[in-house]
Structure 1
Amino acid sequence: MSRFLPLTIRFVHGGTMVVSSIADARKALDGTWKNKDAATYVKAVRLVEDAANGICRPAIAFAAFKKAAAEQGLLDPVGPSAALSMFDQLWSRDRKGPPR
């Protein structure tokens, strides 16, 4: 089981990757990004590497990775989970009242 909720990254040249760990983030940072000189990208690389070496909290590194990916438009939009969709259906059905 992964430590973080999975993110789907869509690289500049069309490939995708699901990222849900620091190891995944390291691999994804090697992919094709729009701007590897951007401050958020450089910071994410440093923090992910530090987390892999045990000198940075993984949650901080993962947040930096997510911010860099979002800034460059690489995050695939995430729809609601299946459980949330079922809950929404039940809730809307209950609000309508009993069948007539």
Structure 2
Amino acid sequence: MGNFLPLSIKLVDAKSMTVSSICEAEAALQGQWPNKGAAPYRDACRLIAAAKGGSCSPAIAFAAFKAAAIDQRLLQPAEKSDALKMLDDVSKDIQI
């Protein structure tokens, strides 16, 4: 289980991944990205490596990974969890 809320990304080769940890982010960065020379991608690679080495906060590194995925339009829309769907169903009948 990851340390962060899961992100769904779809790489250039149509491979979908769920990323919720620094190790999963590192694996995703090894996949096919549209532009591995882009600054957000390079920053994410650098910060993920620094987080694994202990010189960067994992939260900052994961945020950089998310920013790179957004920048290259790889981040997929999140689906509502089953619990949130149930809450929506229950609360739709409540009138304020």
Q: TM-score range by the shorter chain?
A: over 0.9
Which residue of structure 2 lines up, in the alignment, with residue 35 of structure 1? 35
> Offset of 1:85 from its aligned partner?
1.2
Which residue of structure 2 lines up, in the alignment, with residue 53 of structure 1? 53
TM-score, normalised to structure 2, is 0.94
Choose 79-88 or 67-76, whichever is displaced more. Answer: 79-88
> Offset of 1:29 from its aligned partner?
0.3
TM-score, normalised to structure 1, is 0.91
Give me the whole-angstrom Cα distance separating, in 1, the residues matched to 2:49 and 2:17.
19
Which residue of structure 2 lines up, in the alignment, with residue 44 of structure 1? 44
Query: Which ranges of 4 or more aligned residues in structure 1 deviate by more than 3 Å?
Result: none
Over the aligned positions, Cα root-mean-square deviation in angstroms equals 1.2
In structure 2, give the amino acid aligned to 1:4.
Answer: F
Give me the whole-angstrom Cα distance separating, in 2, the residues matched to 1:19 and 1:52.
16
> Offset of 1:12 from its aligned partner?
0.5
Unaligned runs of 5+ in 2: none
In terms of Rg, which structure is larger?
Answer: 1
Choose 81-90 or 18-27, whichever is displaced more. Answer: 81-90
Unaligned runs of 5+ in 1: none
Which residue of structure 2 lines up, in the alignment, with residue 74 of structure 1? 74
* 1:55-84 per-position Cα deviation (integer Å, ceiling 9, x unaligned): 100000000000000110101111222111
Which residue of structure 1 lines up, in the alignment, with residue 88 of structure 2? 88
Give me the whole-angstrom Cα distance separating, in 2, the residues matched to 1:85 and 1:95.
18
> Offset of 1:94 from its aligned partner?
2.3
Give me the whole-angstrom Cα distance separating, in 2, the residues matched to 1:95 and 1:79.
26
SS at match of 1:52: helix
